[in-house]
Amino acid sequence: MKISNHALLRMQQRKIWPEVVTFMEQFLPPAYRNSSNQIILDRKTATTLAKKLRKTAEKIEKSKGTKIILDSAGTTIITTYKKY
């Protein structure tokens, strides 16, 4: 999604990180409110997502060396294993 110069300036002024905006675009659903489409990261959602992301980050660190073997079309996982 394109970001206007105005939005970039406001993000800088309000200390809203581009990574958070990208995350919100990819993982949160838009809602139509007050005559505009909006993506909202409220406190409850932010807390819940942060907990899930921390748990996922821990699992990723523990999964070093994991390999996924795909079929020739690359559409089906055939098997998975860890190679240390």
- The pair of structure tokens assigned to 19 is 């990574």
CA 1, CA 6: separation in Å to the nearest integer? Answer: 14
8-23 tens-digit pLDDT: 999 999 999 999 999 9
Question: C-alpha distances in angstroms, 52 versus 4, 40, 78, 80?
Answer: 31, 18, 27, 23
pTM over 0.75: no
User: Looking at residue 1, what is its pLDDT?
Assistant: 83
CA 20, CA 7: separation in Å to the nearest integer? Answer: 14
38-75 tens-digit pLDDT: 999 999 999 999 999 999 999 999 999 999 999 999 99
